[in-house]
C-alpha cells in the first residue's frame, strides 16, 4: 500500500463512519503504520479511532493503538469541556454570552458524534471587544491564569493571552475579533456575529454562528490563515464536511463565493470543495470560478511518501538554519556578556577608587575640623588676621 492509497483509505473510513454514519470499508490490505502516520499528521486519529472502534476486521496492532488514543483523548476532552463550562459560567455571570469558535463550536453544535472523536489544542471564544477586559478579569477570578512560557502577543492582536484553568488544565483564548484584519474583505467580526443563535451548554448560555459563517470561517482559517493553499489538513477539512452534512441546506454558497473571491481565493474555494467531492463524496456547489487544473494530481503528489519525505527534509533544513542562527546569536550573546562583565569589573574598580577618595576626603575634613577647634588655632587667630591685612596692603 502506498502512502496515497493509505490517505484515501483514511478518507473513506472518515466518510463512511462520520459523514454517512455507516460501516467502514474493509481494511484487509491496509497498512497500520501508514494509516497511523497519516491520521497523526492530519490530527484525525481520534476521529478514525471512533469510526473503527470494535471492528473485527481492523488489524490488531492498529485497533489497539486506536482504542488507546480514543480513551486518552476522551479523558482529555472531558477535562477541556469541564474547563469550558467553568469559563462560560464566569462570562455569563457578568452578562456575556460568548460565541465558541472552531473546535469548541463544532463539539457544542453536535456535528461530531462524540466529544472524544475530535482533537483540539485549546478553547476559543469570541466576546465583545468592549467587554474584553471584564471578560479576562472574570476568568482570572474563576481560577484561570496566564503562564510565563506562553507566547507574548503583539498589541491589538485578535485574541487575548491564553488563560489556563488551574483545575482542569484547559486553555482558553478570548477573541475580540474572529480573524485578523487582513481577512476583513471576507469575514468581519460584525458579519460573523449576525444570525448567531442562542444555545445552551451544560445549563450555560452561549451563541452559535449560523452555518454559512461557520463553514466560511472554517475554510478561511484552514486554507488561508494556516497557509494550506497547496494541501489540506484533514482535521479542518473534516470539520467543514461535518458542518455541511448537518447544515447543507442552510449554507449560502453564493455569499461565501463572493466573500472569498474578495480575498482572491475564488479558485481556491472551488478547489477545496472539489477535494470534498473527490475524497468525501460531497457534491460541490456551483461557484463563480473553476477548480485549479490538475489539483487532485497535485494533492496526490503532496500526500505521496516521496513528497512527505521531501517535506521532512525541507523541515530539517529549516531546523538546521534556525539552529545555525541560534548558534550565532548565542555566540553574540556570549560576546556581549563578556563585554558586560568587563564593564562591570571596570565599574567596580572605579567605585573602589571613588570610595577610597571619599574616605580620604572625609578624613581630611575631620582633621581640618579638629585643627580649627584646637587651642593653638584660636591663639594664632590675631596673627592670621594681621597677615591677611598685610597681604592686602602689599597688593595695593
What's the chain's length in residues?
396
Q: 173: part of which helix (H) or strand (E)?
A: strand 171-175
**Cβ neighbours for 253, distance < 8 A, ≥ 6 positions apart:** 285, 286, 287
- Judge whether 147 and 162 are in contact, CB under 8 Å: yes
- Judge whether 145 and 169 are in contact, CB under 8 Å: no
What pLDDT score was predicted for residue 230? 66
User: What are the helix (H) ranges across 281-304?
Assistant: 295-303
Q: How far apart are the first and last CA of the chain?
A: 118
**Cβ neighbours for 261, distance < 8 A, ≥ 6 positions apart:** 269, 288, 289
Phi-psi category of residue 15: left, alpha or beta, with phi > 0 → left and psi -120 to 50 → alpha = alpha
Distance between CA atoms of 78 and 82, rounded to whole angstroms?
Answer: 6
- Judge whether 88 and 102 are in contact, CB under 8 Å: no
Task: Tally DSSP H helices, then E strands, for the chain.
Answer: 15, 7
Helix, strand, or coil here: 204?
Answer: strand
Cell of 197: 443563535
What pLDDT score was predicted for residue 115? 93
Give DSSP secondary structure letters for 80-136.
HHHHHHHHHHHHHTTT---EEEHHHHHHHHT-SSSGGG---SSEEEE--GGGHHHHH
pLDDT, averaged per 10 consecutive residues of the chain (396 residues), comes to 90 95 84 89 94 84 89 94 96 98 93 93 94 96 91 83 93 95 93 96 96 96 79 92 96 97 94 95 95 92 70 73 83 87 89 87 80 68 70 68
What pLDDT score was predicted for residue 394? 72
- Judge whether 307 and 325 are in contact, CB under 8 Å: no
What pLDDT score was predicted for residue 308? 58
Dihedrals φ, ψ of 39, to 5°?
-65, -35
- Judge whether 221 and 179 are in contact, CB under 8 Å: yes
Distance between CA atoms of 335 and 125, rounded to whole angstroms?
Answer: 45
Cell of 19: 459523514
CATH, domain range 3-303 = 3.30.460.40
Distance between CA atoms of 358 and 368, rounded to whole angstroms?
Answer: 15
* Alpha-carbon dihedral sign for residues 4, 7, 13, 16: negative
Dihedrals φ, ψ of 114, to 5°?
-160, 140
Amino acid at each position: 500500500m502506498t502512502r496515497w492509497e493509505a490517505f484515501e483509505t483514511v478518507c473513506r473510513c472518515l466518510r463512511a463512519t462520520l459523514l454517512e454514519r455507516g460501516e467502514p470499508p474493509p481494511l484487509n490490505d491496509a497498512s497500520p503504520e501508514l494509516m497511523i502516520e497519516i491520521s497523526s499528521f492530519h490530527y484525525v486519529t481520534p476521529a478514525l479511532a471512533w469510526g473503527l472502534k470494535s471492528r473485527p476486521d481492523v488489524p490488531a496492532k492498529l485497533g489497539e493503538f486506536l482504542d488507546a488514543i480514543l480513551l486518552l483523548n476522551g479523558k482529555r476532552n472531558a477535562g477541556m469541556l469541564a474547563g469550558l463550562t467553568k469559563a462560560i459560567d464566569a462570562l455569563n455571570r457578568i452578562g456575556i454570552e460568548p460565541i465558541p469558535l472552531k473546535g469548541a463550536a463544532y463539539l457544542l453544535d453536535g456535528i461530531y458524534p462524540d466529544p472524544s472523536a475530535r482533537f483540539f489544542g485549546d478553547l476559543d471564544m469570541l466576546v465583545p471587544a468592549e467587554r474584553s477586559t471584564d471578560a479576562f478579569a472574570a476568568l482570572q477570578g474563576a481560577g484561570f491564569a496566564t503562564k510565563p512560557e506562553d507566547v507574548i502577543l503583539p498589541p491589538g492582536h485578535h485574541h487575548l493571552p491564553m488563560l489556563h484553568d488551574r483545575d482542569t488544565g484547559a486553555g482558553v483564548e478570548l477573541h475580540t475579533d474572529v480573524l485578523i484584519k487582513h481577512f476583513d474583505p471576507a469575514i468581519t467580526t460584525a458579519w460573523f456575529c449576525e444570525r448567531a443563535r442562542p444555545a445552551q451548554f451544560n445549563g450555560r448560555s452561549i451563541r452559535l454562528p449560523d452555518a454559512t459563517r461557520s463553514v466560511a470561517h472554517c475554510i478561511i482559517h484552514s486554507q488561508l490563515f494556516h497557509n494550506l493553499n497547496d494541501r489540506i489538513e484533514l482535521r479542518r477539512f473534516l470539520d467543514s464536511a461535518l458542518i455541511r452534512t448537518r447544515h447543507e441546506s442552510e449554507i449560502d454558497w453564493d455569499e461565501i463565493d463572493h466573500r472569498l473571491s474578495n480575498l482572491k481565493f475564488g479558485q481556491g474555494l472551488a478547489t477545496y470543495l472539489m477535494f470534498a467531492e473527490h475524497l468525501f463524496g460531497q457534491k460541490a456547489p456551483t461557484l463563480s470560478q473553476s477548480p485549479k487544473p490538475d489539483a487532485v494530481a497535485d494533492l496526490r503528489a503532496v500526500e505521496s511518501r516521496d513528497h512527505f519525505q521531501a517535506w521532512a527534509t525541507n523541515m530539517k533544513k529549516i531546523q538546521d538554519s534556525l539552529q545555525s542562527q541560534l548558534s550565532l546569536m548565542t555566540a553574540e550573546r556570549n560576546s556581549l556578556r563578556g563585554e558586560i562583565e568587563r564593564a562591570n569589573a571596570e565599574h567596580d574598580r572605579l567605585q573602589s577608587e571613588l570610595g577610597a577618595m571619599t574616605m580620604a576626603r572625609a578624613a581630611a575634613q575631620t582633621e581640618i575640623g579638629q585643627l580649627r577647634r584646637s587651642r593653638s588655632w584660636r591663639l594664632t587667630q590675631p596673627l592670621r588676621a594681621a597677615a591677611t591685612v598685610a597681604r592686602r596692603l602689599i597688593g595695593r
